Amino acid sequence: MVEDVVVVGPYVDCAYKEQPVQQVFNRRLCKTKSCDLYNTKLPKGSKYCSHCGAEVQLEKKIVNAQTSQDEFLAKVRAELAAINSPLVFPDKQLAKVVKATNHHFWHVKPQKLIKGSAHSDGVVHPVTQDRIASDIDTFKSMFQKEYTILVNAYGVENISLHWGVMVYLPLV
Ligand SMILES: [Zn+2]
């Protein structure tokens, strides 16, 4: 039986915007106007035109591209992994929400309750405004490095900290 993952507590809501990037290509061209290969892209590493023998000229070509959301996430995950961060964003499990909102939700990886732990007899936590405020404060101070990574990736204006409930199925 697969059980839902229920996350209750603070999470960072990050609005994802398409990330424009510029890619620069060096092209090797023959610049002899009378040559049949004039302005034709020559094979990588060639120094002379294979047709007229003129020296190959290098030309930069700048292409505006978009990084895909998957690439973007992989980059953020790699930065978080580099500091051993417990923050996760289950994008596959929350795929529908992400598609509808274009928001990413980073939260502390849920731990499995272990038999014999203090929680095995059941636990009840009333949710109060004070509790929410103190959870958010604790989160802010514990995850300063993560917050900086997320701010750099998404832009400070696209990030907000919330306290809420997230429910999703684990990937099996
Ligand atoms: Zn040529």
State the greatest distance between any 2 C-alpha atoms of the chain, in Å, as a whole number. 87
Q: How many angstroms does the Cα of residue 35 sit away from the middle of ligand 1?
A: 5
- How far is 82 from 76, CA to CA, in rounded Å? 10
Q: How many angstroms does the Cα of residue 47 sit away from the middle of ligand 1?
A: 11
- How far is 160 from 79, CA to CA, in rounded Å? 19
Task: Residue 122: count other Cβ atoms within 10 Å of its Cβ.
Answer: 5
Task: Residue 170: count other Cβ atoms within 10 Å of its Cβ.
Answer: 11
Q: How many angstroms does the Cα of residue 92 sit away from the middle of ligand 1?
A: 51
Give 10-residue mean pLDDT values along the chain (172 residues): 85 89 84 94 92 93 79 94 95 92 93 61 84 94 96 95 92 70
Q: Decide: pTM greater than 0.75.
A: no
Q: How many angstroms does the Cα of residue 24 sit away from the middle of ligand 1?
A: 24
